[in-house]
Amino acid sequence: MKKSAIYTRNGDGGTTSLIGGKRVSKSHPRVEAYGTIDELNAHLGLLLAAIAPHPQCATIEKITNNLFNIGSILACEEPTTEIPATAIATIEEQIDTISAGLPKQRGFLLPPANEQAARANVCRTVCRRAERAVSALATEAEIHPNVSAYINRLSDYLFVLTRLFCNQTEKYWEKHWK
């Protein structure tokens, strides 16, 4: 029987190949960083399924494509592409547009209680973890600063998107115990 092209058996020993062919441990910080970006992209897919046909779908679809680009940058020891500053500016524009229609934030928000907002919030938390993974990788490898800037701005976008989907029903953290 012919072996499937889906499995190679090369990773059975706990290693994987980076772009360029170098083998590293599957627990390597580079693999953790691009793996978390991949996980974020999967969650963004779930968010898209929950909000379609919302006007923000087009922005999120662009973001998912950009995250594949970031994943390829992180999976390569010597990346040949960079994130353009315009990609970051696009997210900032979306943050400003959404924020303009939101009520003033009065404190720390509790996790949202509707599916759309909750999915956006999960995306935000996975994005923050991706940011930490990229930051950890940057302590041992050179990472273009726009990678960190894009991921940081993306988590801000996902925060305001969460607030948008709360539909003005935000609940705030209260310091006293209940």
**Which pTM does this prediction carry?**
0.91
pLDDT digits (tens, 9 = 90+) for 104-157: 998 999 898 899 999 999 999 999 999 999 999 999 999 999 999 999 999 999
Domains of the chain as residue ranges with CATH: 24-77+92-98+111-165 (1.20.1200.10)
* pLDDT-based confidence at residue 2 (cuts at 50, 70, 90): low
Q: Give the DSSP H/E element, type plus range, for residue 93.
A: helix 85-100
Q: Of 72-81, 82-91, 121-130, which range is least confident? A: 72-81
pLDDT digits (tens, 9 = 90+) for 9-18: 878 888 888 8
